[in-house]
């Protein structure tokens, strides 16, 4: 059984090899090919093109797509697996993507070909959750703004929210999306003694310290709103002009998920008119952020360059998590994160488990 792993700038070849090496005892031979970029910015631009234009928006080089016929399994992080790729991989039975989403996979065509598509839920959840708390604190406590002013030799003590700088204790924080990231953020906020509410129409189970509410209730009653939902056709611009108008005047919006979840133009207007206190954003409709973008000149925003999920631990652990899912899949275990309901026909080779 042969597995092709396509590494990239974030998850290099040695991370792939190390993380997937434990599959040898199941009879899986791993080959790694690298999707190269000159910089992280170049990779992020390709990622954005794929997220907006689909898996066919960016083509892989011939060195990656040649001789795909022998492979039963393909594992990627950001590399696009398009219809043409799948057509060349005649024996492909399973695609593993080292992300929660699968925007870079032609899932529809894979399903037509009865190829299982498996994701890696929660693979960088802790990285995003930890950074989200940092983004909240940076915005409400003016950490980034104070740092920037001191670097410019200015001892600044007056900020847009100076009359009402809050503490997290006792404040209501609304989480839009209560999956792996939302759960971790809730745990951290619970330690701050915040009141936590969440909107997630897909959540089922025990919400723990969180009260599940409607989106309207959350928008109207939260002091801080943090977005952790998946971007789908249904959730595109989930937070638009109508929802933003519901927010408290002293509330803050935080987005470390996907820019498409928020109507960016509407958010700019709300911030310019100071209808809310501020926003902390790690994702944008256009990346890198243009030099003349309003977010750069606005005083009531904290902005970072799409970095919340980027930690050495999340990138190193992602192939290990996928190896665990593949092992469970090949040995007949349940609770496999297959996202297209195609059960894999692959089985571990006898005598090598």
Whether 306 is a known active-site residue: answer yes
Strands laid side by side in the 301-303 sheet = 211-212, 195-199, 172-176, 224-227, 252-255, 278-281, 301-303
Tell me whether residue 287 is one of the annotated catalytic residues.
Answer: yes
Which of 99, 183, 258, 325 does the annotation list as catalytic?
A: 258
User: 63: how many CB neighbours lie within 10 A of its CB?
Assistant: 10
258 carries an active-site annotation: yes
Selected catalytic residue, list 287, 293, 316, 327 = 287
Both tokens assigned to 209: 């310290």
Positive or negative: CA dihedral 150, 152, 158, 159? negative
Helix (H) or strand (E) holding 156: none
Quick count: other Cβ atoms within 10 Å of Cβ 89? 23
Separation between Cα atoms, residue 280 and residue 304, nearest integer Å: 8
**Hey, is 129 helix, strand or coil?**
helix
Report CA 258 to chain centroid distance, whole Å: 7
Q: Which of the residues 99, 145, 306, 325 is marked catalytic?
A: 306
End-to-end CA distance of the chain: 13
Closest by CA to 319, choosing from 9, 1, 23, is 23
Name beta bridge partners: 94.
73, 116
Examine residue 44 and say whether the peptide bond preceding it is cis (omega within 30 degrees of 0). Answer: no
Find out whether 20 and 5 touch, Cβ atoms under 8 Å: yes
Which residues are catalytic, by number?
Answer: 258, 287, 306
């Amino acid at each position: 059984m042969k597995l092709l792993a396509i590494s990239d700038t974030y998850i290099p070849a040695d991370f792939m090899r190390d993380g997937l090496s434990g599959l040898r005892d199941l009879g899986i031979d791993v080959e790694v090919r690298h999707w190269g970029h000159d910089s992280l910015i170049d990779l992020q631009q390709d990622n954005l093109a794929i997220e907006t234009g689909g898996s066919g928006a960016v083509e892989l080089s011939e060195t990656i797509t040649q001789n795909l016929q022998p492979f039963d399994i393909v594992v990627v992080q950001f590399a696009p697996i398009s219809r043409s790729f799948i057509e060349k991989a005649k024996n492909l039975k399973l695609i593993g993507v080292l992300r929660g989403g699968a925007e870079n996979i032609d899932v529809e065509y894979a399903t037509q070909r009865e190829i299982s598509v498996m994701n890696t839920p929660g693979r960088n959840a802790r990285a995003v959750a930890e950074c989200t708390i940092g983004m909240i604190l940076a915005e409400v406590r003016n950490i980034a703004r104070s740092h920037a002013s001191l670097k410019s030799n200015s001892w600044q003590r007056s900020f847009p929210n100076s009359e009402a700088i809050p503490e997290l204790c006792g404040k209501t924080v609304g989480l839009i999306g209560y999956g792996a990231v939302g759960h971790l953020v809730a745990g951290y906020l619970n330690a701050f003694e915040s009141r936590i509410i969440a909107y997630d129409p897909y959540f089922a189970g025990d919400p723990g310290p969180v009260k599940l509410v409607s989106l309207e209730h959350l928008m109207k009653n939260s002091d801080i709103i943090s977005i952790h939902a998946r971007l789908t056709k249904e959730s595109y611009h989930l937070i638009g002009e109508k929802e933003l108008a519901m927010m408290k005047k002293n509330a803050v919006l935080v987005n470390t998920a996907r820019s498409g979840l928020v109507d960016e133009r509407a958010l700019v207007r709300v911030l310019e008119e100071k209808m809310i206190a501020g926003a902390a954003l790690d994702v944008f409709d256009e990346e890198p952020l243009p030099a003349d973008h309003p977010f750069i000149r606005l005083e009531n925003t904290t902005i970072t360059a799409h970095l919340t999920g980027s930690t050495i631990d999340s990138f190193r652990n992602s192939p290990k998590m996928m190896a665990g899912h593949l092992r469970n899949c090949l040995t007949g275990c349940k609770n496999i994160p297959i996202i297209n309901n195609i059960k894999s026909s692959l089985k571990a080779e006898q005598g090598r488990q």
